[in-house]
Amino acid sequence: MDNGSRLMVTNGGEEEDEPAGGGSVQQCLPVPLTKKRKLILHLDLNNTILVSDAATGQGPRTALNSYLSTVAWGQISDTGEWQWLSDQPSVKPPCEEAVNYYTHFGRDGSFSDNKMGQRFRGVFTDHMKLLEWRGEADKRFTQRGEDGKDYHWILPSFFHMIETLHLQGREFCVILRTFGIDLPHVLQSVHAALQGKHPLFPQLQQVPLTIDLAPGRIRCSRRDVVLTRGSDRISTRTKERNIYQYFSSMDGIGGFQDHFDWWARNSFTASGGKPFWIDPSDCNTQHIIIDDNIRLSEHDAIVSSRVLLDKEKGKESRKALTSELYDICLVQTDLLRAIAQKDYFLDCIGVCEENYERYLRSFQVE
User: Which of 157, 218, 152, 156 is CA-nearest to residue 349?
Assistant: 157
| Contact of 68 with 117, CB cutoff 8 Å | yes
pLDDT of residue 314: 63
pLDDT of residue 194: 97
Residue 210 burial class via C-beta count within 10 angstroms: exposed 0-12, middle 13-18, buried 19 and up: middle
pLDDT of residue 154: 98
| Contact of 308 with 126, CB cutoff 8 Å | no
Rounded distance, CA 267 to CA 299, Å?
Answer: 8
Residue 136 burial class via C-beta count within 10 angstroms: exposed 0-12, middle 13-18, buried 19 and up: exposed
pLDDT tens across 325-335, in order? 999 999 999 99
**Mean pLDDT value across the chain:** 90
Of the pLDDT bands very low, low, confident and very high (cuts 50, 70, 90), residue 34 is: low
Percentages helix, strand, coil for the chain, rounded to the nearest 5? Answer: 30, 25, 45
Return the bridge partners of 144, or none: 150
- Contacts with 16 (C-beta within 8 Å, 6 or more apart), sequence order: 319
| Contact of 338 with 49, CB cutoff 8 Å | yes
Rounded distance, CA 304 to CA 269, Å?
Answer: 9
pLDDT tens across 305-358, in order? 999 997 665 689 999 999 999 999 999 999 999 999 999 999 999 999 999 999
What ranges do the domains of the chain cover? 6-50+154-360, 60-131
Rounded distance, CA 42 to CA 19, Å?
Answer: 25
Rounded distance, CA 41 to CA 333, Å?
Answer: 13
Rounded distance, CA 21 to CA 9, Å?
Answer: 41
pLDDT of residue 313: 59
Rounded distance, CA 71 to CA 92, Å?
Answer: 8
pTM: 0.90
pLDDT of residue 8: 41
